[in-house]
Structure formats: C-alpha cells, structure tokens
A and B are shown apart, each in its own frame.
Chain A
Amino acid sequence: MSDTSAQPPRPNCPALIICQKIQTTPQRLINIGGMMNAFSITEFPADVTFAVHFALTEGQGNYRLALFMETPDYPNDAGANRHLLWEGEASLRAPSVVHEQPLQITTRFLAPGQCRIALYANGQQVARRPLSILRVKA
C-alpha cells in the first residue's frame, strides 16, 4: 500500500491529445496538428512516431509524470499489460498554473487492437484516451 498523505494534490488534466505533430512557437504557444483517435497500419510490427499533448492544472507541488500505453482492461485483467512511453517531472507552483507538455513518441505496435494512452501523476491516473490500432490494406 502506498502512502499518499505527503503527496501534493492530484492535478486535473483537461486535455490529453494524440496527434500527428506539435510545434511550439517563439511566443511559447503550442500548435497541435492532426488529432487522431486511431492509427491505420499496413504491416505489423510497426514503429510509429506520433505526438501527445497534455495539460495539467489544479495542482500544487512536484509531480512525477508517466505516460503509458495500456490494454483497455489494465490493471483488472490477468492478461492486461502496459508499456511506458515517456516519463518526466512537472512543478506546479499554484492551482492556477497550467502546465502544457508536448511530446514526440515513437513506439512499436505488434498487432491491431484497442489500447489507451494513460497519464499518471505521482502514480495516480489523471487522464486516459482510447486509441484504436487498425490494420489496413496497403
């Protein structure tokens, strides 16, 4: 059992987005291009590069962040599993602070099916997004 009493409050994640590309402008604005809920793949296994954007707010303190690709029934099924896509840290000074994180991810898909992208802050899930992996003809 983990002790969460000393941890900062669970932040709110108002956006978790899977997309083709993310660009940060010189004015520190973020452009998010080509949002997706599915990947269409002709041949497995396939190495796919995509982008993820998330926002965190309503938190205060330091957070260890982890982004996983999980099977939809994780962790309740014996066959469920997950794969770490990225890990990092964020420091939220006050609840009003909005932390925006653009990421580029490359991962290997072994077979078509359903999965989800899930974000954890200090071990607590704060957001998840379903993702379909589709097989298409070349």
Chain B
Amino acid sequence: MPRIDHFPKCLALIVCQKTDLDPQTGQWSIIGTFAGMTLEKYPAMYPEFHVYYALAKSDNIQDVIHLDVIAPDGKPTSQNLTVVKWDHDAEGVEQGVAFREVIFRTVGKYIVRLTAEGGHILAERSITMD
C-alpha cells in the first residue's frame, strides 16, 4: 500500500515590508504587501522584508517548514527553517518571518517558496526585481 503523506495546507503566503503580532490580541498584522521592487543597481543588499504565512494543521505531530528565497538562477539566497509542533486543539499556525540583509544579485524573478519535509512545495510567491 503506498504511503500517504499529510502535509499542512498553506492558507496564505504574503511578502511584505513588516509583520506584527499584537501580544494582547494574538492577531497578526501585515504592513505593505508587495510583489516586486525596483532597485537602483545590482547586486543590492535589501535591509529587511518580511513573509507571513498561515498553515492549516496537518496530521503530523510536528512539521519542519522551510521558507526560502530562490534567485533567478535557482539557488537559494536566503533561508529560514521553523519546526511547527501541533497542539492537540490547534487548527493552524501563523508565522511572520523577517529576512534581513538579503542580497539580490541580479534583476529577475525571485521565488519565495514554502516547503515541508522532503521538499514538498506548499506555496510559492514571486518577487519581480527590476
């Protein structure tokens, strides 16, 4: 019988200037969504941007979630790893991840990719650099 993998379902993947978690309400806010940037010259070091994602609970006890920024040549330029441990009564999880001092070496289409174990792609978002 083939093994059935259960991956968390991605409900949202958003690239933005900043994410903010209100400790009083537990609610996330997203500041300044964008899908592209125009920089004066390349290579360029971008000081900071954020990625927000929301996942619906999987059947696993925990999931290892990779969030990578992939350059147009297919190589990762920034990487983040989060271990999500699912509480019994959790329905999902939200995360705001800061990417700092990211190097954009060239113009083109960069991919923000959210993957689970084994490289299973949960969601992708592109950033077009001009």
Contacts and interface: CB of A to CB of B under 8 A. Distances in A.
A30 B32 contact: yes
A111 B93 CA distance: 26
A82 interface: no
B14 interface: yes
Given A16-B12, A34-B22, A55-B14, A100 B27 contact: no
A32 B13 contact: no
Contact of B33 (A16, A32, A57, A96): A32
A25 interface: yes
Contact of A34 (B25, B56, B125): B25
A19 B35 CA distance: 20
Nearest to A33: B29
The range of chain A's interface size is 20 to 34
Contacts of B30: 17, 30-33, 35
A49 interface: no
A14 B29 contact: no
A98 B14 CA distance: 11
A29 B126 contact: no
Interface string A32-64: 111111000000000000000101010000000
B73 interface: no
Interface in A71-113: 96, 98, 100
A130 interface: yes
Given A15-B12, A34-B25, A96 B92 contact: no
Interface in B1-51: 10-14, 17, 22, 25, 27-35
A74 B89 CA distance: 24
21 contacts: A14-B10, A14-B12, A14-B13, A14-B123, A14-B125, A16-B11, A16-B12, A20-B27, A30-B30, A31-B30, A31-B31, A32-B29, A34-B28, A35-B30, A35-B54, A36-B27, A37-B92, A57-B125, A96-B109, A96-B126, A98-B126
Interface of A: 14-17, 19-20, 25, 27, 29-37, 53, 55, 57, 96, 98, 100, 129-130
Interface of B: 10-14, 17, 22, 25, 27-35, 54, 56, 91-92, 94, 109, 123-126, 128
4 residue pairs, one from A and one from B, having the closest CB atoms: A98-B35, A15-B12, A29-B32, A32-B30
